Amino acid sequence: MTTKLFGEPVRRREDARLITGRGRYLDDIGAGALAAAFVRSPHAHARITDVDVEGALDVEGLVAIYTYEDLTGPMAEPLPVLIPHPQLHAPRTGHPLADGVVNHVGEPVVMVVATDRYVAEDAAERIVVSYEELPVVVGIDTARAAESCVHPDVPDNVAARHHQETGDVEPALAASPHTLTFTQTIERSACTPLEGKGVHARWDPDDGSLRVYSSTQASTSVRAAIAAKLELSLDRVEVIAPDVGGGFGVKIVHPWPEELLVPMAAMRLGREVKWAEDRREHFVSSAHERGQRQQVTVGFDDDGRLTALDVHVWHDNGAYTPYGIIVPIITATQLVGPYVIPVYRVVVESLYTNTVIVTPYRGAGRPQGCFAMERTMDRIADSLGLDRAEVRRRNLITPDQFPYDHHLTFQDGRPVVYDSGDYPGLLEKLTALVGWESVEERRAEATGRGKLLGAGMALYVEGTGPGPYEGGHVQVLGSGKVLVSTGLTSQGQGHETVFAQIVASELGVPMEDVEVHTGDTRRFGYAVGTFASRAAVMSGNAVALAARGVREKALRIAAEVLEADPSDLEIDEGLVQVKGTPGASIPLRTVAVLSNPLRYAFDEAAKQATQFATHDDTKPPVAPGDAPGLEHRDYYSPLRSTFASGAHAAVVEIDPQTWEIDVVQYAVVHDCGNVVNPMIVEGQVHGGVAQGVGGALYERMAYDADGQLQNASFMDFLVPYASEVPDVVIDHQQTPSPLNPLGIKGAGEAGVIPGSAALASAIEDAVGRRVAAMPISPSELYDLVRDDTAERTAASARRTGATA
Amino acid sequence: MKPPPFRYADPDSVDEALDVLAAEGDGAKVLAGGQSLLPLLAMRLAAPATLVDVNRVPGLDRVEASAGGVRVGALVRHAGLLRDAGAAGVQPLLARATANVAHPAIRNRGTTVGSIAHADPSGELTAVLALTGGSVTVARPSGRAEVGWQDLFVGPLETSLSGPAVVVDAFFPALPERSGTAFAEIARRKGDYAVCGAAVVVTLDEDRRVAGVRASYLSVGLVPEVHDLTEAVAGKPVDSADWAAAGALARTLVDPDTDLHATADYRRLLVGVLTERTLAEAAAEAAGRTAA
């Protein structure tokens, strides 16, 4: 019986450690380290006229104060534009510490280092920074009006104008039997991982080396950034992501100012320095996402089939563009979803505002794109009096159309070519799962209970697993332990489990023998990072390839010992054996010992492998082209992204007295190709739905006109509790990817993408008023339903007519 | 989010606490459950020179229910009051309101009296103290005195107490005969501060006609208010009283504010709806407690 764990709902092996407090998070490291705290700008836009540190100097325990004046060399230069793009014509980034001007509340101005965080905050409080306030740009309208500008040399506040088109949209619209034009908005939210960012640095002056722990999604890139900015040779810097309490995108941005400043301070002071971000800092100095206004013009025929789509998006990118225009590009290219769109044009204007930067948050522009496309489908259905599921079905790409080329260019610079999928299959499973056909019956039943019931759905396609590469290293030790390493990081997804499942399955060893390490540059130096639903696709395939390399070598060595042909051998439960010949076997751990003809017999196992054990003295102990040890390193680099897909449906009940919105049913059909571990995929879906519900019904960044964030705490920024997240029913569909050896697609972000679209549709269906702005609270819904000018849906008019 | 330095005193009697408070002046603050005070310290929104931790003072952790009402000691946790059957028997609103206070972890630590002394107009028990016509016992160096709820609440997070003072207990009068109560609130998320909440009491006469209707609201005014809604339904038989009319009256009496989570209009809507719903529930209880 061959060990086969791939595809099994194996329990997460990291959970016992993480949920019993035995995790090692950033703030668990360096108990005796000096602590950093930051003086951050209280103004959204201001010129710094003076920094007076005098009052802080007599605080007992103060160790150092740094301002921009103390930065030298590359540290004094602007932070990198990490992902430049030709259409990002006016990229701007801040400095590690503000250089004369601040562009959002929360921007770091002064770093204080002290014996502990309490003292550091005491000293920070006594530093007086004088400002001359400048005009503030907050919100898309203000940015577009451009009466003031964020950056003096970008007078129109436009950082980028991203533009793609697949044909001549205007004549196609003109020739369309029907057209609709509408505008809608989606507000800002944020990743808000339970653990904020954090950095710990230790400089070894004798060794001239730096070890940095960072709560990051990209340790290898943080390492490269630190080496560049602090002018160190790469081999003198190691960066480790310890246990990380959630990322959701915000920790892929790098280098954060603190990731450079903390190591700088550690080097200058010759002491360990640590900074652990607090929640208030996280709200005003990390990253947000989602804020967009969208203007959609769609052409369609009498059957509801799209003829042309023209979309103009205004995207609020905050004060700086360190992460380029990844979010605008993803909105632009993923908006098209599972549909055939004969002619498509999209323009995304990315606008500067005096607010926290906008960088990818789980979904990364897709929830907005999905909102645009799916609400378009709802409007077409409404205008033609067709069922919303039927309009979608008529526009779906069919299974015989793969690979399907949208003639767009994706965020990785590669074409948007869908590799595989079965979208009609998704829709069919979804309508069955949610009971779409019985919605009218349920509506009537709810009406009898005094509730307004509505249903909505949304479909999406998600490009996952972009390159350029990830690597894997697999090594079998003489003890039988199998070490697996990959460079990308973990933030709680279950990588220790799934990578172990993959390696155990590929190699034929018990999963208990496999130990997985991630995000540690000491173990694996080449990696890209954990984002874009890429870990399973990229590192999953890389560790599979590495395991296959180990297997091949193991069979070759074992074949010599067993005097058999390698093709006649198999590995099962850690034993290499001749197929069909019981007893003709050798443990894999012994093969590992034999693979290393070392000189010293320090134990019985090693004795078998010393150079003097070699019987064939015509060959060197290590053959040309071979290497000691039973290990293999390999890389997976895909041609392009693989496209996962899914469909969500929500049923809401609304109390027409209080306008409270209760999500009574939430159904998900999910296709991420071959599934490594269905339990983990379902967990990802659950978490994604929770964040989707948050974005649709609870979360917003409430900036006032002065650029002050009014709800920078978990008391007022409403992340849904377990009590607000609906039960989720899930059905799987598996359409393998032809692009990678394991046939898998990413699953990390999917659950969040259709939340706002599906819930807006359901609420609109329940109340009969057009819902064009998300999120929506009961208070806002009350305003909508009593606004006589609010657009009523044709469906509600038809229902009223039918019941009159 | 670390507090600035402060001195810490842990007296083991009220008198000793008062001595420390007197010696420290306005810079001293009493610490009980800490559920409001400690976040204020961490965010440096409050910077008392001295915290006077009364958690080791004996005798303050008792709930005393008598025919006249329920006296709740300063160290009684929300969770303790919630499960006190004697208190619920005398004044059912206590448990009904306390069940809506935040989440179990906060209820296990936070104190009922601390919440009242914090004078948050979103607090459940401030509204109940007002509705029931309750009072607090304030210990001062000069002695102890009862302070009625109307004299206690001055503004949001502000009481009339000044100088060295410790609120040692709160007294909630018993539910009058032929009366019923109800409590309801609507929050954005379960356990959050209410967007709007209502505590009501309905009293019937011996003929089961409505004799008195009073309501108090959460998150609606700057301080807890009690509104008499009797006129909307006075003299009506309990089974046919128009509670919606009382709700409509309530809407005209309140003056809520707009904040991040709800407009004033929406709060006013909820005042009407919650009033109607809770009165119907309270009336049913009152009817059950009134001989036919």
Residue of B nearest to A116 (CA): B2
Report the percent of chain A where pLDDT is more than 90.
93
Closest C-alpha to A649, from A663, A667, A669, A670 = A667
Domains defined along chain A, listed by start: 31-134+191-285 (3.90.1170.50), 292-353+362-464+642-803 (3.30.365.10), 467-618 (3.30.365.10)
* Whether B202 and B260 share a structural domain: yes
- Check which CATH number belongs to the domain holding B75 and give it: 3.30.465.10
- The confidence score (pLDDT) of residue A659 equals 98
pLDDT in tens, A251-288: 999 999 999 999 999 999 999 999 999 999 999 999 99
Q: Most B CBs within 10 Å: which of A59, A703, A779, A785, as the mutation test of the B interface?
A: A779
* B234 alpha-carbon distance from chain centroid: 27
Contacts for A204 with CB less than 8 Å, ≥ 6 apart: A210, A211
Return mean pLDDT, chain A. 95
Cα distance between residue A111 and residue A75, in whole Å: 14
Q: How far is A414 from chain B (nearest CA, A)?
A: 43
Phi, psi (rounded to 5 degrees) for A592: -65, -40
In which element (H, E) is residue A606 found?
Answer: helix A604-607
Structure-token pair, residue A635: 């890389």
Q: How far is B114 from chain A (nearest CA, A)?
A: 19
Q: Which of B129, B145, B173 represents a domain boundary (last residue)?
A: B173
Query: Which residues of chain A lie closer than 8 angstroms to B189, CB-CB?
Result: 698, 718, 720-721, 723-724
pLDDT band with cut points at 50, 70 and 90 for residue A597 = confident
Given this model, what pLDDT does residue A774 score? 97
Under an 8 A CB cutoff, do A778 and B266 touch? yes
- For residues B70 and B26, state if they share a domain: no
| B122 and B95 part of one domain | yes
The CATH number given to whatever domain includes residue B209 is: 3.30.390.50
Domain-located, residue B1: no
pLDDT value of position A601: 78
Q: Which residues of A222-260 are buried (b: 16+ CB within 10 A; e: fewer)?
A: bbbbbbebbebeeebbbbbbbbbbbbbbbbbbbbbbbbb
Domain match, B46 and B114 both: no
| B2 has a chain A CB within 8 A of its CB | yes
Nearest-angstrom CA–CA distance, A335 and A337 = 5
pLDDT at A3: 52
Looking at the fold, whether B185 and B278 belong to one and the same domain comes out as: yes
My answer on whether B241 and B281 are in the same domain is yes
Model confidence at B26, in pLDDT bands (50, 70, 90)? confident
Q: What is the pLDDT of residue A547?
A: 98
Q: Average pLDDT, stretch B30-59?
A: 95
Q: Which residue of A has its CA nearest to B262?
A: A779
B231 lies in some domain: yes
Q: Which of B191, B193, B266 sits opposite A779 (nearest CB)?
A: B266
**B47 and B127 in one domain?**
no
Side by side, the strands of the sheet bearing B7-9 are: B7-9, B50-53, B28-31
Asked if B1 lies within 8 A of A783 by C-beta distance, the reply is no
The mean pLDDT value for A57-81 works out to 98
- Same domain? B169 vs B183: no
B97 and B158 share a domain? yes
Compute the average pLDDT of residues B32-54: 94
- Note whether B10 and B56 are within 8 A (CB): yes
**Are B192 and A718 within 8 A, CB to CB?**
yes
Rounded to the nearest angstrom, the minimum Cα separation between A237 and chain B is 31
Q: Which of these, A785, A758, A773, lies nearest to A663 by C-alpha position?
A: A758
Q: Would you say B144 and B103 are in contact if contact means Cβ atoms under 8 Å apart? A: no
CA gap A237, A525 in Å, rounded: 11
pLDDT higher than 50, residue A48: yes
Distance of CA A543 to the CA centre of its chain: 21
Q: Are residues B24 and B97 in the same domain?
A: no
In this predicted structure, the answer to whether residue A610 has a pLDDT above a threshold of 90 is: no
Q: Which of residues 43-82 of B touch A (CB under 8 A)?
A: 43-44
Nearest-Cα residue of chain A relative to residue B264: A779
Nearest residue of B to residue A37, measured between CA atoms: B1
Section A29-45 average pLDDT: 97
- Distance (Å, rounded) from C-alpha A104 to C-alpha A284? 8
At residue A765, the pLDDT reads 98
- The answer to whether residues A406 and A418 touch, using CB atoms and an 8 Å cutoff, is yes
In this complex, do B262 and A658 lie within 8 Å of one another by their Cβ atoms? no
Measure in Å the smallest separation between the Cα of A710 and chain B Cα atoms.
8
- Tokens encoding A740: 């990678």
Inspect the interface and report whether the beta carbons of A657 and B273 lie closer than 8 Å: yes
What sign does the dihedral A315-A709-B190-A661 (CA atoms) show? negative
**Tens of pLDDT, residues A705-723:** 999 999 999 999 999 999 9
Contacts of residue A718 in chain B, CB cutoff 8 Å?
Answer: 188-189, 192, 261
* The pLDDT value given to residue A612: 64
Chain B: give the shortest CA distance to residue A783, in Å. Answer: 8
> Does residue B236 belong to any structural domain of this protein?
yes
- Is B89 exposed, middle or buried, given 0-12, 13-18 or 19+ CB atoms closer than 10 A? middle
Residues B184 and B121 in one domain: no
- The SS3 of residue B22 is helix
Both B36 and B89 in one domain: the answer is no
Q: Which helix (H) or strand (E) holds A669?
A: strand A661-671
Closest to A127 (Cα-Cα) out of A57, A45, A35, A46: A57
DSSP for B104-115, written as a single string: HHHHHH-BHHHH
Given this model, what pLDDT does residue A535 score? 94
Check CB contact under 8 Å for A121 and B2: yes
List, in order, residues 6 or more apart from A728 with CB less than 8 Å away. Answer: A666, A667, A668, A685, A686, A689
Chain B residues inside the 8 Å CB shell of A720: 189
pTM: 0.96
Å between A191 CA and nearest CA of chain B:
19
Q: How confident is the model at residue A804 (pLDDT cuts 50, 70, 90)?
A: very low
Q: How far apart are CA A720 and CA A690, in angstroms?
A: 7
Q: Do B261 and A720 touch (CB under 8 A)?
A: no
How many residue contacts between A and B have a Cβ separation below 8 Å?
64
Q: Would the CB atoms of B44 and A125 count as touching at under 8 Å? A: yes
Domain boundary pick from B128, B155, B173: B173
Q: Can you give the CATH number for the domain in which B16 is found?
A: 3.30.43.10
- Residue B264 in this model has a pLDDT that exceeds 80: yes
What confidence tier does A2 reach under pLDDT thresholds 50, 70, 90? very low
Question: From CA A418, how far away is CA A640, in angstroms rounded?
Answer: 10
Q: How many of the other CB atoms lie within 10 Å of CB of A397?
A: 22
Calpha distance A100→A119 (Å, rounded): 26
| Residue B188 contacts A where some CB pair is shorter than 8 Å | yes
B142-147: long-range pairs with CB below 8 Å, 24+? B144/B168, B146/B171
Q: DSSP string spanning A169-193?
A: HHHHHHT-SEEEEEEEEE--B----
- Return the number of other C-beta atoms located less than 10 Å from residue B68's C-beta: 10
CB contact under 8 A, A698 and B188: yes
What residues in chain A have their Cβ under 8 A from chain B's Cβ atoms? 117-118, 121-122, 125, 278-280, 657-660, 698, 702, 710-711, 713, 715-716, 718, 720-721, 723-724, 777-779, 782-783
Q: Residue A658: which of B186, B189, B191 has the nearest Cβ?
A: B186
Rounded to the nearest angstrom, the minimum Cα separation between B84 and chain A is: 26
Of B5, B263, B273, the CB nearest to A779: B263
CB contact B257 to A (< 8 Å): no
Tell me which residue range forms the domain holding B16. Answer: 7-52
| Domain count for chain B | 3
Could you tell me if residue B113 is inside a domain?
yes
Cα gap A779→A783, rounded to integer Å: 6
Instruction: Give yes or no for a contact between A653 and A443, defined as CB atoms under 8 angstroms apart.
Output: no
A715 interaction partners in chain B (CB closer than 8 Å): 193
**Which of B3, B189, B265 is facing A720, going by the closest CB pair?**
B189
Nearest to A268 by CA among A203, A328, A321, A220: A203
Q: What gap in Å lies between CA A531 and CA A366, rounded to an integer?
A: 14
DSSP state of A538: I
Residue B14 placed within a domain: yes
> CB B189 to CB A698 under 8 A?
yes
Residue A620 preceded by cis peptide, ω within 30: no
Query: Is residue B2 situated within a structural domain?
Result: no
Give strand ranges (E) for A177-326: 178-186, 198-204, 209-214, 237-240, 273-276, 292-300, 306-318
Which residues touch A581 (CB under 8 Å, ≥6 apart)? none
- Using 50, 70 and 90 to split pLDDT, how confident is the model at A688? very high
> Is B270 a residue whose pLDDT tops 80?
yes
B chain contacts of residue A121, beta-carbon cutoff 8 Å: 1-2, 4, 44
Which chain B residues are closer than 8 Å to A698 by Cβ? 188-189
- Does any domain span residue B57? no
Considering all CA atoms of chain A, what is the largest pairwise distance in Å, rounded to the nearest integer? Answer: 99
Q: Is the predicted pLDDT of residue A488 greater than 90, yes or no?
A: yes
Residue B236 touches partner A, C-beta closer than 8 Å: no
Residues counted in chain A? 804
Q: Which two tokens mark A482?
A: 């199998």
**Which pLDDT tens digit goes with each residue over A238-252?**
999 999 999 999 999
- Strands (E) in B117-156, as ranges, are 135-140, 143-148, 153-155
Q: With respect to residue B213, please indicate whether it lies within any of the assigned structural domains.
A: yes
Q: Which of A27, A119, A658, A660 to mutate against chain B (most B CBs within 10 Å)? A: A658
Mean of the pLDDT values across residues B70-91?
97
